């Protein structure tokens, strides 16, 4: 928990509080709120994107990999946030894209990504989605025997670039069954192995053990004569510091953990597929306080932002840091425990529970932190809300 005063507090290089006002890239959020009120009928809530924070997050991966001389592709997982502006920014900074369906593939293409820089994963691939990927020479991730046979049946007579998927769960026996199938099919070209361990991973040992398994499998496959195998994808899943200043591993820590083994296998290109750790910390949701209320022993702050913009608390009980964007005009400036809830007709519509906040005045701005990943992209129009 943060201490009683967050004044002068730097959440990161680009978000800080000075004299009780929250700033993003030197812009006072309260001023932004005021100017939106002048031009929009319904100016609240809104997301604030920090391009510099996004750039820093990309750089944490890219410059470390470049410095170490590790061949790599940094594939942004589009599903985390498909705002075209984000896609342009990641593309301009040398990232590739990881998509889970044809719509995301099309968006990546529309943003100017070339097919070979797009990896299309997903466990149910429709014919149009495969055709789009194959026509544009995207890499296609195969996630099961079912998926492989389905792709092979659908892509003829096009040329497909297949990329096998391996997890701890993919048995060697299954791999052995699949390899001859790929070998016999002139349209399939095995170029690498892929894994994705999960989400919000804060333990590098998981990645490290997986790397050993993957390197073993790649060696095995190469011995079988698959000479085009050149990519090793470790997927995404690195967590971020939602709780503010917790020690969780950074992208630099992750890369340092795998660097020696990647350098020993310097014919391989390391693919990473982060979503959350690129965009998560670059976005705030700015809401307005509708009022405070009390039920029995609990105090609530009701805001105009809700689960339709930030569903992670309702869905996973996830924690997002909350902060007033301006000093309170209330006489009482003592922090108290509040549940911060939205106006949607669902008990689960909350943004935070038991948060120590200064009681805000009506109309005060309240920011929800780290909403760049899996918030806007999971947004909804429930209750006819505009999103």
Tell me which residues are annotated as active site: 345
Q: Which helix (H) or strand (E) holds 316?
A: helix 312-316
Angle among Cα 366, 369, 374 to the nearest 5 degrees reads 125
Burial status of residue 229 (CB atoms within 10 A of its CB: 0-12, 13-18, 19 or more): buried
Query: How far, in Å, CA of 125 to CA of 160, rounded?
Result: 14
Which stretches within 328-377 are classed as H helix?
none
- Least Å distance, CB 201 to ligand PLP, is 8
Chain mean position to CA 120: 16
- Least Å distance, CB 200 to ligand PLP, is 7
Query: How far, in Å, CA of 189 to CA of 160, rounded?
Result: 7
Chain mean position to CA 376: 11
Query: How far, in Å, CA of 218 to CA of 165, rounded?
Result: 11
In the window 14-73, what residues touch ligand PLP (CB under 6 A)?
none
Query: With CB under 6 A as the contact rule, which of the stretches 61-69, 108-116, 229-237, 292-300 interacts with ligand PLP?
Result: 229-237
In the window 321-380, what residues touch ligand PLP (CB under 6 A)?
373
- Least Å distance, CB 99 to ligand PLP, is 9
Q: State the number of CA atoms in the 13 A half-sphere of 294 facing the CB.
A: 5
- Least Å distance, CB 213 to ligand PLP, is 17
With respect to ligand PLP, which residue has the nearer C-beta, 80 or 364? 80
Pick the binder of ligand PLP from 189, 199, 250, 383 (CB under 6 A): 199
Q: Is the dihedral of CA 176, 180, 183, 185 positive or negative?
A: negative
Residues facing 21 on adjacent strands: 18
Query: How far, in Å, CA of 269 to CA of 218, rounded?
Result: 12
Longest CA–CA span in the chain (Å) reads 77
Is residue 142 near ligand PLP by the rule CB under 6 A? no
With respect to ligand PLP, which residue has the nearer C-beta, 274 or 360? 274
Is residue 251 near ligand PLP by the rule CB under 6 A? no
Pick the binder of ligand PLP from 80, 255, 307, 367 (CB under 6 A): 80
Cis amide leading into 206 (omega within 30): no
- Least Å distance, CB 56 to ligand PLP, is 17
Angle among Cα 173, 174, 177 to the nearest 5 degrees reads 90
With respect to ligand PLP, which residue has the nearer C-beta, 61 or 338? 61
Is residue 249 near ligand PLP by the rule CB under 6 A? no
Is residue 305 near ligand PLP by the rule CB under 6 A? no
With respect to ligand PLP, which residue has the nearer C-beta, 45 or 75? 75
With respect to ligand PLP, which residue has the nearer C-beta, 17 or 248? 248
Pick the binder of ligand PLP from 62, 276, 288, 321 (CB under 6 A): 276
Could you count the other beta carbons within 10 Å of the beta carbon of residue 249? Answer: 18
- Least Å distance, CB 283 to ligand PLP, is 14
Is residue 236 near ligand PLP by the rule CB under 6 A? yes
Residues 21, 28 contacting (CB under 8 angstroms): yes
Pick the binder of ligand PLP from 55, 60, 70, 98 (CB under 6 A): 98
With respect to ligand PLP, which residue has the nearer C-beta, 272 or 364? 272
Which residues of 198-239 form beta strands (DSSP E)? 231-233
Could you count the other beta carbons within 10 Å of the beta carbon of residue 269? Answer: 17
Pick the binder of ligand PLP from 16, 62, 125, 196 (CB under 6 A): 196
Query: How far, in Å, CA of 286 to CA of 289, rounded?
Result: 10
Is residue 235 near ligand PLP by the rule CB under 6 A? yes
With respect to ligand PLP, which residue has the nearer C-beta, 366 or 373? 373
Site size for ligand PLP (CB under 6 A): 18
Query: With CB under 6 A as the contact rule, which of the stretches 75-83, 101-109, 130-138, 304-312 interacts with ligand PLP?
Result: 75-83
- The residues binding ligand PLP (CB under 6 A) are 77, 79-80, 98, 100, 121, 196, 199, 235-238, 273-277, 373
């Amino acid at each position: 928990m943060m201490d009683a005063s967050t004044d002068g507090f730097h959440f990161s290089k680009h978000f800080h509080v000075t004299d009780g006002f929250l700033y993003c890239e030197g812009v006072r959020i309260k001023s932004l709120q005021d100017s939106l009120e002048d031009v929009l009928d319904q100016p609240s809530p809104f997301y604030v994107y920090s391009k510099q924070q996004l750039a820093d997050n990309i750089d944490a991966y890219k410059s470390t990999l470049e410095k170490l001389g590790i061949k790599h592709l940094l594939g942004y997982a589009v599903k985390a946030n498909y705002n075209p502006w984000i896609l342009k920014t990641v593309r301009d900074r040398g990232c590739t894209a990881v998509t889970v369906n044809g719509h995301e593939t099309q968006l990546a293409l529309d943003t100017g990504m070339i097919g070979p820089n797009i990896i299309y994963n997903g466990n149910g691939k429709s014919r149009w989605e495969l055709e789009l990927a194959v026509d544009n020479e995207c890499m296609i991730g195969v996630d099961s025997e079912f998926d492989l046979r389905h792709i092979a049946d659908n892509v003829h007579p096009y040329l497909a670039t297949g990329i096998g998927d391996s997890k701890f769960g993919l048995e060697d026996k299954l791999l052995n069954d699949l390899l001859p199938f790929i070998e016999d099919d002139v349209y399939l070209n095995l170029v690498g192995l892929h894994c994705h361990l999960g989400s919000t991973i804060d333990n590098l040992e998981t990645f490290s053990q997986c790397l050993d398994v993957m390197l073993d499998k790649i060696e095995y496959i190469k011995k079988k004569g698959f000479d085009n195998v050149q990519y090793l994808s470790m997927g995404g899943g690195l967590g971020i510091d939602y709780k503010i200043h917790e020690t969780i591993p950074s992208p630099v820590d992750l890369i340092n953990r795998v660097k020696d083994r990647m350098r020993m296998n310097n014919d391989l290109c390391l693919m990473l597929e982060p979503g959350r750790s690129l965009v998560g910390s670059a976005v705030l949701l700015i809401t307005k306080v509708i009022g405070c209320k009390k039920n029995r022993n609990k105090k609530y702050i009701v805001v105009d932002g809700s689960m339709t913009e930030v569903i992670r608390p309702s869905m996973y009980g996830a924690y997002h840091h909350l902060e007033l964007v301006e000093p309170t005009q209330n006489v009482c400036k003592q922090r108290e425990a509040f549940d911060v809830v939205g106006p949607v007709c669902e008990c689960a519509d909350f943004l935070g529970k038991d948060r120590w906040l200064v009681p805000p005045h009506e109309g005060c701005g309240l920011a929800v932190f780290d909403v760049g990943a899996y918030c806007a992209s999971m947004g909804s129009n429930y209750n006819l809300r505009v999103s």
